[in-house]
Structure 1
């Protein structure tokens, strides 16, 4: 049924008889997520508010995260690091609209963000010969032609987000140097220096580092509050238990870290796979597929307030009244700020790392 609808709309568009398509024409998905079918096929899926898939579009290889165009039903699916491709998909027709290829000597890190008007796409990239992060700039109005690139403010830029109400960007520089010839081997653990880098019009306007004794805490994933506060999740590369895996920051202010209690720190196994912040900005949710756990933190009190075991949980995003999560076992589930709600749904997809809000 969904395929026939997409074909019908595509036919109208070809004749010029239909208005410009919207996300409603793609089944009104609320979220996007990459996943894998049981036969090993990799797909990008739309997911509606009832946690039902609205479309499944094939990818050439395993996906990581995606970026949803702010106005038209178009998604950019990024390859898992160190992938060199990103696929632009028309989510109404199901057709590939464009293919982004990383320049020679680069690979993508699996994340991207659009400008507020959807005219530009920003991608995090590794200049692996120089050992430096770059931000690729692509013109989404001209078939995603690469038009510029900027310094990313550090090594290993992973996630990138746009601050609401502005064109400023924040980049999670994990601080870990890698090279495709070494696979996913981490080459500089002893000297790594993660940071948050804020960019505006290609210029770095602020960088924020962690305390020196936490320099092995790789900043990986971001979530943005409406007041421009940035929540971030980390992955500990040091020995022993991680001192903290969740924090938040706002331009011009100091970093606040969420000190987990001893059990929480152990349960996360030093690894945050994805992070989200509630609509009111009061609660941060962090997932750990290694620890099979999702935890929530009170922003003002800087303390953990909830913990729930979910096998291979990773994707998380804010929804009214709480969060939605996905797992590698095929589970989709709504959670409250302090966690448990009703039972979730399970299907034949192994969801990948991230759940993206449209």
Structure 2
């Protein structure tokens, strides 16, 4: 029997105008964080880094993705995870809780099709780490529609290329134990970038040169002209100062972009997140392990290293430079000349700062 609350909710749904992102305060970014009390939340941040809303999560979050028109965000669990929550960012209500099929795990990232009708999620077969892309019907309560092969082992980030429904997937190449995440294939790993058509077929796929097969491709950033920048995590000899930034365009070879040797060591073999600035002329690369953020030109030329403890989340600022979040609770503006803190709170920001305009 319908309760009074359900009846009122139904009446409101039919009488109120359709809500949009403006009703949620027009957030510029989404970010997961741990609060002072130990709980976890998904925040919407404005362009100056102030939190507009904080919606509780059941466990530590990782990345999120925003629906292109509706004020809905999908928050993904810290990988490997078994939850993804579809959250109404005006009401704070969980509209759907997604669970991967038996024997699968979410791998921290997802994105929407250009029209918002389909949600794509990065997943692995738990026992083998074979990659899958899950397809969810956003028009039917996020019902599972099917899946595609990701084209590799251990997919992590995935993005939709600007203006079209071609996906690029960062297949990290690492097989992990499903229980304790022990890395099982470091000597034989083969990361790749894989581009999938709207039908799930492989349109292009590139690997790194043989000496860099232990450089796991983890995170992606898209330039306004279709360039793909990718962030790497080195699983080889820690004494080797390898490049952690790569660039690619479909139909070409992947190109790694080295920093000067001393600057490369500062990253400690680990790039946590990556972004183009609004102009597409700069690339920011973070290392929470090294406590630094590096800036490169759009063609991969090294520009500067700036120190910021536990800095990881990064996205384009409205104007010049980047917005950066760190585990100490600070949101900062970064340009090639350095950091300028914008605001600080009790939230310990997690790995990623996700712009809504993606």
Fold match (TM-score > 0.5) = yes
Q: Where does structure 1 lack aligned partners over 5 or more consecutive residues?
A: 1-9
Counterpart residue number, 2:265: 266
Counterpart residue number, 1:347: 345
Q: Distance in 2 between matches of 1:168 and 1:206?
A: 10
Q: Distance in 2 between matches of 1:98 and 1:321?
A: 37
Counterpart residue number, 1:198: 195
RMSD value over aligned CA atoms? Answer: 1.4
Counterpart residue number, 1:242: 241
Judging changes above 3 Å, is the alpha-carbon distance between structure 1 residues 340 and 122 closer, same or farther for their aligned structure 2 residues?
A: same
Could you say what secondary structure the match of 1:307 adopts?
strand
The alpha-carbon deviation at position 21 of structure 1 amounts to 0.5
Counterpart residue number, 2:182: 185
Counterpart residue number, 1:51: 49
Could you say what secondary structure the match of 1:16 adopts?
helix
Match of 2:123 among 125, 129, 133: 125
Q: Distance in 1 between matches of 2:268 and 2:54?
A: 32
Counterpart residue number, 1:23: 21
Contact 1:12 1:18 in 2 (8 A): no
The alpha-carbon deviation at position 39 of structure 1 amounts to 1.2
Aligned residues: 346
The alpha-carbon deviation at position 50 of structure 1 amounts to 2.1
Runs of 4+ in 1 over 6 A off after TM superposition: 10-13
Q: Where does structure 2 lack aligned partners over 5 or more consecutive residues?
A: 1-7
Alpha-carbon displacement from aligned partner over 1:246-305 (angstroms, at most 9, x marks no partner) = 0110101122211111121110000000000122222110000000000001123x3210
Q: Distance in 2 between matches of 1:232 and 1:264?
A: 18
Counterpart residue number, 1:287: 286
Q: Distance in 1 between matches of 2:166 and 2:138?
A: 18
Q: Distance in 2 between matches of 1:243 and 1:15?
A: 54
Q: Distance in 2 between matches of 1:42 and 1:67?
A: 17
Q: Distance in 2 between matches of 1:343 and 1:145?
A: 42
Contact 1:236 1:242 in 2 (8 A): no
* 1:1-358 equivalence runs, <5 A: 14=12, 16-181=14-179, 183-200=180-197, 201-239=199-237, 240-300=239-299, 302-319=300-317, 320-336=319-335, 338-358=336-356
The alpha-carbon deviation at position 340 of structure 1 amounts to 1.7
Judging changes above 3 Å, is the alpha-carbon distance between structure 1 residues 225 and 192 closer, same or farther for their aligned structure 2 residues?
A: same
Could you tell which deviates more after superposition, 313-322 or 206-215? 313-322
